[in-house]
Amino acid sequence: MTERTRKTTELGFLHHFIPASEKGNLVTLLLLHGTGGNEQDLIPLGRELYPTAGILSPRGKVLEAGMPRFFRRLAEGVFDIEDLKFRTYELADFVEKASKVYGFDLRHVISVGYSNGANIASSLLLLRPEILSSAVLFRPMIPLMPEKVPSLKTKNIFMAAGDQDPIVPREQTEMLYRLFKKAGANVFLHWQKNIGHQLGYGEISAAKEWLSQLFI
């Protein structure tokens, strides 16, 4: 199987898929970019975090001033909750369909999300938790409060936040952490010192180490 980028009426998202490079590796990384990104942006990060995993990387379908996102917002940090819910279910359905087309195992899908992508990954965990086995969330905010807190007892979640982030307030990160803990998830929160919304090597290294521990 070769690398492929395709947009079809069946799958609905422009996306990039790369099969696992190691026979017997069941892990597929669901890469979810930040505002203004695309389906190519996080592939180098995915390769750094887990070199032999399969990759499924869709492009967000919502445009904000021409920049792709995964759901609408009304202002900085103010989300359109109804659109967020709709887009979360739409993305979950896409992953399910992609698993059938490409033959990867839904029980071993790990989301790697940055900013807007981390937020919709968090929403997937809260609204459609069966889609993800684990998640690596860089710069997440709490996307919404679910009507019922799901059971996330089988989920492993790595969160990374910058202590100088001008976009994601510290209390947002801590609220999401507490919500995941309340849901029973195994959550690790990494604070990257002296850094804002951009990613730092230290947190990427910490996420890579955390991921490696899942498969020992």
pLDDT of 2: 46
Average pLDDT taken over every residue of the chain: 92
Neighbour tally for 46: CB within 10 Å? 22
What parts of the chain have a pLDDT lower than 50? 1-2, 7
DSSP classification of residue 201: H
Residues annotated as part of the active site: 115, 165, 197
**Domains of the chain: total:** 1
- Residue with tokens 């307030």, as numbered in its chain: 169
53-83 burial string, b = 16+ CB within 10 Å, else e?
bbbbbbbbbbeeeeebbbbbbeeeeebeeee
Extract the tokens encoding 156: 């492993």
pTM comes to 0.94
Asked if 115 and 122 count as a contact pair (C-beta separation under 8 A), the reply is no
The phi, psi pair for 109, rounded to 5°, reads -100, 125
Domain that holds residue 19: 4-214
Q: How many residues does the chain have?
A: 216
pLDDT of 161: 96
Neighbour tally for 27: CB within 10 Å? 21
Q: Which DSSP string corresponds to 123-190?
A: HHHHH-GGG-SEEEEES-------SSPPP-TT-EEEEEEETT-SSS-HHHHHHHHHHHHHTT-EEEEE
pLDDT of 4: 55
pLDDT of 41: 96
CA distance 143 to 102: 29
CA distance 196 to 109: 28
Q: What is the CATH number of the domain that holds 198?
A: 3.40.50.1820
